[in-house]
Amino acid sequence: MKTFKIIAAIAVMSAAIACSSNKTSVAGVEGAPSKSEVDTVSYLMGINWGSMIKGYNLGDLNFNEVKKGINDFLNAKGNQRDTDFVKQFKINPEEMNRIMQEYIDKRTAYTAAINKAEQDKFFDGVKKLDGVQTTESGLAYLIKEPGNGNKPSEQDTVYVHYKLTLKDGSTVEEVAETQPSVMLILNRVIPGWTEGLQLIGEGGKATLYVPAELGYGERGANGIEPNSPLVFDIQLDSVKHFVEPEPEKK
């Protein structure tokens, strides 16, 4: 379970907001942050919160309530360490972990259900494409260039260039041809890669249509939503075959 240290974050943001609210300087005292500096810090605090909202997959929040929570914290009296401090809020911040985790679990399950239905439609279309084949596991693939007869096994190391896109065509990551190839061991990657790369010969190119079950599954990863199919355009540059180590001599 993730721990949500929101109260600490609110305290930091509240301090920034408190500074920004002090727009007039005190006569005879110099060195206060300029308006430009206050605006810069305010913007960076927004980025920080945006990162947290996106990272935890919180979705479209009610920013009126976000603002109300900030103001309630700013106007709260007393020491944060006192047991009565949290009684000033309409929802006890000490319930943060439970409430947030239940919310995220519900959002994840809902998103996974939607993506599962969309994945089925996506593969219905993929299977109709010229040259696409499907394995028993559900992996769909298109061999663009077969390469030579030197194909990897699941224990081998491969050197590849590739581009990962989602079903809508948006690019998640790419190792372009102008960059050095990436080294991967096939039994240490997602199942779709382990199976798919063994279908390509050295020097070959293919597109792998990887269902979520052979990718990042119901939880997703690295900004990829749960139950998301993945599309990999892969160029297999070279194969380094696994060599069983010799047993140690007694």
Percent of the chain predicted with pLDDT > 90? 64
Mean pLDDT for 141-151 is: 96
Interval 7-24 mean pLDDT: 49
Distance from chain centroid for Cα 105: 16
Q: Is 0.75 surpassed by the pTM of this model?
A: no
For 86, which DSSP code?
G
Residues of the chain with CATH 3.10.50.40: 122-240
173, 164 Cβ separation under 8 angstroms: yes
pLDDT in the model for residue 9: 52
99 vs 107: CA distance, rounded Å: 12
Q: Would you give the end-to-end CA distance of the chain in angstroms?
A: 48
- Residue 186 CB coordination number (10 Å): 20
* Model pLDDT, residue 13: 52
Strand residues in 146-229 grouped as ranges (E): 157-165, 171-175, 182-185, 205-210
What kind of architecture, by CATH, is found in domain 122-240? Roll (3.10)
Q: Check pLDDT > 50 for residue 1.
A: no
Query: What pLDDT does residue 28 have?
Result: 72
Residue type, 13: M
